Each structure stands twice: as structure tokens, then as C-alpha cells.
Amino acid sequence: MIYILSDKKIDGALNLEVIKTIFFDVEVNLKPYDGLVFTSRKSVIALDRINKEWIGMPSFAVGFATAEAINSFGGRVEFECGDGYAQSLAHEIEKKYSNLKFLHPRGVVTAFDLKVDLSEKVTVFDDVVLYETECNDFSIPAFDSCPIFIFSSPSTVKCFFKKAEWKSSYKAIAIGKTTASSLPPDIKYYLPSKRTLKSAVELAATL
């Protein structure tokens, strides 16, 4: 059986929600900004909860899944980073959009600090923390002796290994290199051709 360690539904896999999201109710003023930088699906959901005005603003997405979330809420994707990594998105923003004022809605923990990287390279780059992730209670079905686990973020790695013990019959897929680097060094993992959960599920089906 294939398990995605998040709440994102993908055909061909079950969800094993090892993390949960706590959203913050904070006031966000979007008027000073020309564009929004989203580096996760959760950041889109978090902002939409508290301010619908973002929908009319240009959005800059770290990758396909984030762009898909923006579109699903009726937002406007101005730019989508091809490889799904925040470092690459930062490079493109610096190169093409340095004259703009940006706001980056984000979680408490990020794999790459865009504000540190871009604050002196663009006109304005601010961020606002709108959510955090915590470990969830979960259990691996006892009848499944050869599961394939798709780790969707470093947080899912942390929370999975906080409770579960890895067995030799298990297989791991990391959605990207950052997540893969969070896995214990003795665990063999696979990387999908695209940094999306759909691509990861397609890979899992071949293992």
C-alpha cells in the first residue's frame, strides 16, 4: 500500500496524516505590496482564511502544487518556479522582479529563509507567519507488511520517526532533495521525476 504522509488526496494512495496544521488568526494588510510569494499549499490556505483580497494580486509560486492551490482559490499565478525549490524561486525573483514589493505568507518553520536571502535584493520583501505544523497521532496498519511511504516535507520525516520504527520491508519516497536530506542516512529513498505528490505516487506504483 502507498501512503502519503499528509492530508493531500491523490488517487492510488492512502493518507497517513503524521502532521497537523494550526492556523493563526492575524491581521494582514496587503495594500503595501505588489505581489505575494507562496512556498506551500498551506500558506495559500492560511492567507485565504483571513484576507480574500489576495485573490486579485499577482502570486509567485514555488512549484506546481502551490500554483495549483492558488488557482483552486481563484488566484492569479504570475510566476511558477519549475523545480519546486525556494532557492530557485528566490533567484528568479531577484533576476526578474527586483523592483516589486513582496509579502511572503509562511509557516513557523521553513526549509529556506526567503526574507534573509531577498530582503536586500528586491525593493521590499516582508514575511508573515500564518501557521505552524505539529506532530499528529497515527498508526501504521498492522496488516500492511510492505508499505511505501511518501514523505512530503521535512516535518513529515520528523513526525513519522518520532513515533514509528523503520522496518527493512518499508520503502521511502521523498518529494524532493530537501525532504530526502532529512531522512536517516541509512534509509534508501527514491525521488520522483517531478516534485509533486502525483509524480511520487506514480513512482511508488512501479516499485
Q: Could you report how far apart the first and last alpha carbons of the chain are, in Å? A: 11
CATH of the domain at 155: 3.40.50.10090
Do both 47 and 111 map to the same domain? yes
Q: How far apart are CA 99 and CA 143, in angstroms?
A: 56
Do both 124 and 155 map to the same domain? no
Q: What is the pLDDT along the chain (207 residues), one digit of tens a residue?
A: 999 998 889 999 999 999 999 999 999 999 999 999 999 999 999 999 999 999 999 999 999 989 999 999 999 999 999 888 899 999 999 999 999 999 999 999 888 889 989 988 999 999 999 999 999 988 877 767 789 999 999 999 999 999 888 999 999 999 999 899 999 999 999 999 988 899 999 999 999
pLDDT of residue 198: 93
Do both 40 and 99 map to the same domain? yes
Q: How far apart are CA 138 and CA 145, in angstroms?
A: 17
User: Considering its fold, how many domains does the chain have in total?
Assistant: 2
Domain boundary residue, one of 85, 101, 132: 132
Do both 32 and 14 map to the same domain? no
Do both 144 and 192 map to the same domain? yes
pLDDT of residue 147: 92
DSSP per-residue codes, the chain: -EEESSS---TT-EE---EEEEE-------TT-SEEEE-SHHHHHHHHHH-GGGGGSEEEESSHHHHHHHHHTT-EEEEE-SS--HHHHHHHHHHH-TTSEEEEEEES--SS-HHHHHTTTSSEEEEEEEEEEEE------TT-SS-EEEE-SHHHHHHHHHH----TT-EEEESSHHHHHHS-TT--EE--SSSSHHHHHHHHTT-
Q: How far apart are CA 95 and CA 184, in angstroms?
A: 36
Nearest 10 degrees: Cα torsion 65, 92, 109, 119: -150
Do both 157 and 121 map to the same domain? no
| φ/ψ of residue 31, rounded to 5 | -60, -35
pLDDT of residue 158: 94
Do both 114 and 157 map to the same domain? no
Do both 47 and 105 map to the same domain? yes
pLDDT of residue 143: 64
Q: Which domain holds residue 14?
A: 2-18+136-204
Do both 145 and 167 map to the same domain? yes
Do both 118 and 105 map to the same domain? yes
> Are 93 and 118 contacting, i.e. CB atoms less than 8 angstroms apart?
yes
Do both 27 and 114 map to the same domain? yes
Domain boundary residue, one of 101, 132, 163: 132
pLDDT of residue 72: 96
Domain boundary residue, one of 96, 117, 132: 132
Do both 39 and 11 map to the same domain? no
